[in-house]
Structures are given as structure tokens and as C-alpha cells.
């Protein structure tokens, strides 16, 4: 996604299976605005390994942003569906960020003489 491309979340709706469909508009200077939706099936919001409903927008945005680095909006196949691979990619990022934050807090505590 280059600096002239604008990706904007426009809303969500319920999917047929009880999941969610997150909708976005993609616009670029001098090009037609495209509407793109990503469906996250209900199964991703259930069970012990579930993701939270409020995370749907963020993971959908991340998937679209990644796809836009590879293709133009008009070339992205419709409809898009969130997959296990997407979930695995999403889960890796927060774990790494949490690990870094924990290390930073520990370093701060040690530098302040707190153990």
C-alpha cells in the first residue's frame, strides 16, 4: 500500500453463519474507490482459542493492508474470507509485542532499583 492509497473502515454486518463481515473502502489518487469486505466466520469467535469480536476490525485491516502491498484494490479477489493462516499471523504479532513490553518494564524496574 503506497502513501497515496487510503484504506478506511466503513462498518460491519452479521454474516450468514453468525460471524462478521467487516467492510472497507479503498481509494487512491486518480482511481475509482473500491469497496472490499472480509468475512470472519463464527468459528473464529468461539472456543478456547477464539479471538474477540473487537479484534475483527484490526485483523481485517491488517489483512487488507498486506494484500494491498501485493496487489491493487481491483485485483483483490472478492469475497475475502479470514483463514487459519490469517489468525496465525495475527496471533504472532501481539505475542512479540507483549514480550517486548514485558522486557521493557523489567528493564525499567531494574534501572530504578526495583526488583
pLDDT for 49-62, tens place per residue?
Answer: 889 999 999 999 99
Per the rule left: phi > 0, alpha: psi between -120 and 50, beta: everything else, 65 is alpha
* Residues facing 14 on adjacent strands: 20
pLDDT at 115: 47
Query: pTM for the complete prediction?
Result: 0.72
The pLDDT tens digits for 51-91 are 999 999 999 999 998 888 877 777 787 879 999 998 888 87
Amino acid at each position: 500500500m503506497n502513501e497515496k492509497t487510503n484504506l478506511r473502515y466503513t462498518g460491519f454486518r452479521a454474516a450468514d453463519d453468525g460471524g462478521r463481515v467487516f467492510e472497507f473502502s479503498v481509494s487512491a489518487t486518480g482511481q475509482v474507490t473500491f469497496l472490499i469486505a472480509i468475512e470472519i466466520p463464527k468459528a473464529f469467535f468461539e472456543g478456547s482459542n477464539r479471538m474477540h469480536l473487537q479484534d475483527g476490525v484490526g485483523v481485517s485491516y491488517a489483512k487488507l493492508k498486506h494484500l494491498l502491498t501485493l496487489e491493487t484494490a481491483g485485483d483483490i479477489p472478492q469475497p475475502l474470507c479470514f483463514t487459519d493462516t490469517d489468525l496465525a499471523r495475527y496471533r504472532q504479532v501481539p505475542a512479540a509485542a507483549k514480550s517486548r513490553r514485558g522486557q521493557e518494564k523489567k528493564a525499567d524496574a531494574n534501572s530504578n532499583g526495583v526488583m
